[in-house]
């Protein structure tokens, strides 16, 4: 079951540099683990913004919430969720 998710990141300007680096490394590892597991199926950068547009493939709403809530950057993000369905004109199923 697919969901589009837009994440807009807003890090505090005075975040400690080392903490920030570790945080971003943790976020990257977390994201890549979910990508490899087939949960986080698309991840694109929005041009000119500290934001991404993503697509998740999950079993249900609860799983999606757990994945997002546990994002290392969650408390620094605005997250917008859009449930998706099969489009009748889509060639691929």
Residue ranges that bind its own copies, judged by CB under 8 A = 1-5, 11-13, 27-28, 31-32, 35-36, 42-49, 52-53, 55, 60-62, 64-65, 68-69, 75-76, 79-92
CB of 27 to its own copies, least distance (A): 7
Tell me whether residue 21 or residue 84 sits nearer to its own copies (CB atom): 84
Residues 6+ apart with CB under 8 A from 17: none
Answer for the pair 53, 6: CB distance below 8 angstroms, yes or no. Answer: yes
At its nearest, how many Å lie between its own copies and the CB of residue 49?
A: 6
Residue 59: CB minimum distance to its own copies, A: 9
Count CB neighbours of 10 within 10 A: 11
| Closest approach of its own copies to the CB of residue 91, in Å | 4
CB-wise, 22 or 61, nearer to its own copies? 61
Radius of gyration of the chain (CA): 14
Judge contact between 77 and 11, C-beta under 8 A: no
Residue 5 backbone dihedrals phi, psi, to 5 degrees: -135, 125
């Amino acid at each position: 079951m697919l969901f589009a998710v837009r994440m807009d990141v807003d890090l505090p300007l005075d975040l400690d540099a080392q903490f920030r680096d570790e945080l971003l490394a943790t976020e990257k590892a977390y994201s890549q683990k979910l990508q490899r597991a087939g949960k986080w199926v698309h991840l694109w950068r929005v041009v000119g913004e500290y934001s991404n547009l993503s697509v998740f493939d999950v079993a249900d709403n609860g799983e999606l919430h757990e994945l997002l809530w546990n994002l290392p950057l969650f408390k620094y993000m605005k997250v917008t969720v859009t449930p998706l369905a099969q489009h009748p004109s889509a060639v691929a199923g």
